[in-house]
Chains A and B, each alone.
Chain A
Amino acid sequence: MRPLTEAETRAVFEKLGKYIGENIQLLVDRPDGTYCFRLHRDRVYYLSEKLLKLAASVPRESLVAPGTCFGKFTKSQKFRLSVTALDFLAPYAKVGPGPRGPRAGPTAPHSSAPLLQYKVWVKPGSEQSFLYGNHVLKSGLGRITENTAQYQGVVVYSMADVPLVSARPLPGLRGCGVGDLPHLPFTPQGFGVAAKSTQECRKVDPLAIVVFHQADVGEYVRNEDTLT
């Protein structure tokens, strides 16, 4: 396990920036401690410094997964984001306090401005198809954030989702418990890259691809073996 080199860090942050914009700093400096990225066997892991100490004492051959895996570097050194990062990137709006129920603990409101989050909503019928790893076609597109540029990283949601417990706060954060629930009604289904800008999406024919599939939650079941 080693820290990322310059080049690697740049690659990772560039990719993350596609999805969460400029506020990568928020991922690093969190109220409950500093978090960092580490590389282990070509995979990038995100973990807090406390956990780092523990993970460092484990022998390298025996270490399987320190913290959360964000993605991996391919053989040609390109960074590929994986679905396991979804929890961190997806709800990256102004994270408000969660409802009393979820015992993930109280949440801290970030001091930052709300993040520009590009979202895509998929129609209920095509949600299954996306979860199997297919791209999203125009016929399956429900809604898309305005002003999405082409090749912009997007988080894919499903329109079929009944609002589950809203505002699932960033796991591990502590904060206040006053309840103004931010509007995060749907659970994210995965990542994608917009194949067409919003304007073009309106004009294109129904069978054209509008979102390239990058990662989806179905992979937890389909590709369980390759997650680590």
Chain B
Amino acid sequence: MGRKLDPTRKEKRGPGRKARKQRGAEVELARFLPPVEEQVSPQKEKHAVKAAGQTARGRSGFSDGNSKWLAPAKAKKIQPKGNHVELSSDGEVEESSWEMEEEEDGSSEEMVDDYGASSSEEEELLPIEKAALKQKSDREGLSEDDSEEEEEEEAEETNKQKMGQKEEEGPDLQLNLDIDEQFKLPTSEEIEKEDILFISPPDLHVIHQRIQGNVEVLQDFGVKREEGRSRQEYLTLLRRDMAAYYSYSDFLLTKLMDIFPLPELINFLEANEVPRPVTIRTNTLKTRRRDLAQALINRGVNLDPLGKWSKTGLVIYDSTVPIGATPEYLAGHYMLQGASSLLPVMALAPQENERILDMCCAPGGKTSYIAQLMKNTGMILANDSSAERLRSVVGNLHRLGVTNAVVSNCDGRQFPKVLGGFDRVLLDAPCSGTGVISKDPAVKTNKDEKDILRCAHLQKELILSAIDSVNAASETGGYIVYCTCSIMVEENECVVDYALKKRNVRLVATGLDFGKEGFTRFKDRRFHPSLKSTRRFYPHTHNMDGFFIAKFKKFSNAIPQAKKEPAVEAAAPSTVPDTITEPPPKKKKLEGSKADKEQKLPQPALKKKRSFQAQRRPLKA
């Protein structure tokens, strides 16, 4: 230590323990040797050890055969950044930090190694190190082939593929790889062999790499494709790989691939692996957000306001005490609630002294938010069809000090019969839960076509009941908000479209200025153009649970009749327009073409209704 041969030349040493060690002979000698190599700095010296361990793939990775499975934890990095979903001034969610993370994630396993704090850009290799590199890369090429018994052909491909994809990603990585390498799609025989010879469990690392490569190719298919291989083959392989890697059923993955473009799909799948941040809503009936935040901070909770769009939300980063059991919680000062659950109530905008119906209220978060916005005036009927879940509703309402609510246990479809004439209705329909996969991973595999259709059917019935329970003539109201925590088009846009056709309602702006617009067309379906006012929220872009919100305004209490006999078609239209006011006919003309397409719906119950409609429309139009 400190054997300085030249006291006038003081070298800068980096921080850390290892900087204090005596540097190697090369460094010491370098001072005397002619400057063949570049100057050596202590910083590089630190990297020298690391550099010696580098692989042919560039900076990242360890040199031994563990590189495939030994990846420094990158997931940790995502979480804290993801929590900061702040709105920029124009109201759009600042996705930059979140998405950037995701991009890096998607691109490669960029090893964030703490050893060697600064990035390796300025590093230049000593001749000794270059030699070591070459040696290591040769060794690695061999070892990869050996380790994978059942994927001999693919090992080579994956190796090449890894190299190939590297140059596309991350400008941070310095790559000295061959540009021409590209993703080689394994033939179907190889894939089958993989299945049959299931000697060892699937190598997730390899699969992940293959997914990356596949997506690369599909993005730029014309250029990067392999001759003679169709796009379908690539897609099939991609689906299989993603299903294996993220544990989804093939059905769900197909659905998701229809909704999202490929890079976004990867982000979505990744986001579903990570839980969303815990958020709470201040109960303004009992306290202020400022005071609550102060009180919780005093208890040792790390929190922040949720965003510009909410005046009552707080996001919890970490806490020394259990959030569900603090004295403030017991006193009813806040409610644990997801950020996306605040949105439908904000869209509903209940006014004081109104009559509100919440059709599927359990566990009571939205109901209590409605009550607090109404300041305990007016009346809320909080209904849910499940008696067990209603217990939590009662508990929450009592705890939060809500006094204007009546809790009931009816099936939502009974509604206008039981009680009608409400000013506003909130329908948070039971759904397949594909937006909250991060909370309930079982959804990945246990949902199939039948479940989605069943949910959609129920939602359609419920939305009609909800619309019928509203009094269109109410002075302050006449609004229905329909929301689900699902991202499936069958449960969202289709249901909304159905409601538009069946009842005298129209879509209005939700009042939420962020979020993605709903689809107006999807695959072969065409929806009403006003569906642009609905909103979709995704976990990977907004860092909240997947959600869909639509707001209707009912403009007439009359119910348009569906004609059952096509023969009476010519005569019937004369009666129908009497009850329906001007806007619907315009809408129906648009929908005439859609009705034909909807005949393709497999569900028998609905099919009947639709065929009637279809028969009606063309003649009428």
- The residues of A with any CB-CB pair to B shorter than 8 Å are 47-48, 50-51, 54-55, 57-59, 61-69, 84, 87, 99, 101-105, 131, 158, 161-162, 164-165, 168, 171-172, 187, 189, 217-218, 220-221, 224-225, 227-228
Contacts and interface: CB of A to CB of B under 8 A. Distances in A.
Contacts of A165: 286-288, 291
Contact of B324 (A54, A55, A68, A221): A221
Nearest to A87: B401
Given A54-B419, A220-B399, 16 more contacts: A51-B379, A58-B418, A61-B409, A64-B387, A64-B394, A64-B408, A84-B398, A101-B288, A102-B285, A102-B288, A104-B284, A105-B376, A168-B287, A172-B376, A218-B330, A227-B394
Q: Lowest 4 CB-CB distances: which A-B pairs, in order?
A: A101-B288, A217-B330, A228-B394, A172-B376
Interface in B263-318: 284-288, 290-291, 295, 298
Contacts of A99: 288
Contacts, number: 136
A51 to B, nearest CB: 6
Contacts of B391: 224-225, 227-228
Interface in B388-418: 390-395, 397-399, 401-410, 418
Interface string B228-271: 00000000000000000000000000000000000000000000
Contacts of A103: 284-285, 372, 375
Given A51-B379, A58-B381, A165-B286, A221 B325 contact: yes
B286 A62 contact: no
A168 B376 contact: no
A53 B408 CA distance: 14
A220 B419 CA distance: 30
B79 interface: no
A1 to B, nearest CB: 10
A68 B284 contact: no
Given A54-B379, A57-B418, A164 B295 contact: yes
Given A224-B395, A228-B390, A164 B379 contact: no
B206 to A, nearest CB: 47
A54 B381 contact: yes
B406 A63 contact: yes
20 contacts: A47-B406, A50-B379, A54-B381, A54-B419, A55-B406, A58-B381, A63-B407, A67-B403, A68-B398, A69-B398, A101-B287, A102-B285, A103-B284, A104-B286, A162-B295, A217-B327, A220-B330, A221-B330, A224-B391, A228-B390
B406 A67 contact: yes
Contact of A101 (B291, B377, B405): B291
B44 interface: no
Nearest to A128: B327
Contact of A65 (B291, B331, B406): B406
Contacts of B395: 220, 224, 227-228
Contact of A164 (B285, B325, B333, B387): B333
A172 B403 contact: yes
B156 interface: no
B225 interface: no
Nearest to B399: A220
Contacts of A58: 381, 406, 408, 410, 418-419
Given A165-B287, A221-B325, A228-B391, A51 B404 contact: yes
A125 B119 CA distance: 52
A47 B325 CA distance: 28
Interface residue tally on B, bucketed by range: 35 or more
A168 B381 CA distance: 25
A69 B291 CA distance: 28
B47 interface: no
A151 B256 CA distance: 65
A62 B375 contact: no
B506 interface: no
Contacts of B286: 102, 104, 165, 168
A103 B401 CA distance: 13
Contacts of A218: 330
A65 B409 CA distance: 10
Contacts of A158: 327
A33 B574 CA distance: 50
Nearest to A103: B284
Nearest to B355: A54
B390 A64 contact: yes
Interface string B317-357: 00000001101101111000000000000000000000100
A164 B331 contact: yes
Contacts of A227: 391, 394-395, 398
Contacts of A69: 394, 398
B287 A105 contact: no
A162 B288 contact: no
Central interface residue in B284, B286, B379, B405, by most chain A CB within 10 Å: B286
Given A217-B331, A221-B324, A221-B330, A64 B376 contact: no
A221 B399 CA distance: 10
Nearest to B322: A221
Nearest to B285: A104
A171 B401 contact: yes
Contacts of A68: 398, 403
Given A64-B394, A103-B285, A103-B375, A164 B330 contact: no
B376 A171 contact: yes
Contacts of B379: 50-51, 54
B305 to A, nearest CB: 15
A118 B454 CA distance: 57
Contacts of B285: 102-104, 171
Contacts of A66: 406-407
